[in-house]
């Protein structure tokens, strides 16, 4: 775990990631998730609700509810991007913020797409195009060399300047065609080790029991619970 007091580089006086104005937060909100992805907001709420007894999912809001665009992700690692995004949202709202940056790391591609997973085909968030391009690039790779892992770095930043970062990983293999309608991103072609189905074929409860995002967030639950309880 990474725990830091204060803000490196004096960013408290800047507005990183393009979030330039303080935004009002809806009544009852206790925590801001630094994402505009509805799937992620739902998944993160479910993970936190399962991990923290009595946790109210309605106390968690995403960027769409604030009318904010996602911060620019120009870090060179998952951890750097998660810190950058959480800090930008804290700056824009004054609220404790949780951000995650995650992606697919493919063995034969030297770790790519990595931090570029969400924009691998050139446009951020085009899941279908990203998936199709990756499958095309791996078309000639034999099954025994199609190892990969999902990696997530999750960060909590508080108004007091504390930074907590945790990581989670799930290993698996890449299928040759999408399977399943659930999940998002590369889930339809990722089959976790020990499972006979893709991530997209698992129920949300199954996926959230061991996913890279769930593993990272579970390590933050004590800190998140402490922050939320102080705001009650």
- Exactly one of 74, 101, 107, 126 is catalytic; name it: 101
Q: How many angstroms separate the CA atoms of 127 and 52, rounded?
A: 31
Q: Is the bond preceding residue 113 a cis peptide, omega within 30 degrees?
A: yes
Measure the CA–CA gap between 37 and 131, rounded to whole angstroms: 17
**How far is residue 191 from each of residues 186, 194, 196, measured CA to CA in Å?**
10, 9, 7
Question: Which of 16, 7, 41 is CA-nearest to residue 217?
Answer: 41
How far is the C-alpha of 91 from the C-alpha of 173, rounded, in Å? Answer: 39
How far apart CA 17 and CA 131 sit, in angstroms, is 27
3-state secondary structure of 221: helix
Angstrom distance (rounded) from CA 18 to CA 15: 6
Is 101 annotated as catalytic?
A: yes
Nearest residue to 40 (alpha-carbon basis) of 82, 94, 93? 82
Q: Compute the distance between CA of residue 206 and CA of residue 226 in angstroms, rounded to an integer.
A: 27
Q: Are 50 and 195 in contact (CB under 8 A)?
A: no
Give the residue numbers marked as catalytic. Answer: 101
């Amino acid at each position: 775990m990474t725990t830091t007091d204060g803000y490196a580089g004096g960013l408290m006086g800047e507005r990183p990631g393009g979030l330039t104005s303080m935004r009002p937060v809806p009544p009852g909100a206790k925590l801001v998730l630094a994402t505009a992805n509805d799937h992620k907001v739902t998944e993160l709420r479910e993970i936190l609700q399962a991990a923290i007894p009595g946790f109210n999912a309605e106390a968690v809001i995403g960027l769409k509810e604030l009318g904010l665009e996602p911060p620019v992700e120009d870090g060179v690692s998952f951890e750097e991007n998660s810190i950058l995004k959480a800090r930008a949202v804290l700056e824009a709202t004054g609220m404790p913020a949780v951000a995650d940056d995650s992606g697919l790391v493919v063995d034969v591609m030297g770790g790519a797409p990595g931090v570029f997973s969400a924009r691998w085909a050139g446009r951020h968030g085009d899941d279908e195009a990203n998936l199709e391009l990756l499958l095309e690039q791996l078309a000639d790779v034999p099954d025994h060399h199609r190892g990969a892992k999902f990696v997530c770095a999750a960060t909590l930043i508080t108004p007091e300047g504390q930074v907590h970062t945790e990581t989670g990983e799930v290993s698996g293999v890449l299928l040759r065609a999408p399977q399943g309608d659930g999940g998002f991103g590369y889930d339809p072609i990722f089959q976790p080790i020990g499972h006979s189905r893709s991530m997209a074929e698992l129920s949300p409860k199954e996926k959230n029991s061991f996913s890279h995002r769930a593993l990272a967030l579970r390590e933050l639950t004590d800190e998140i619970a402490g922050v939320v309880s102080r705001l009650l």
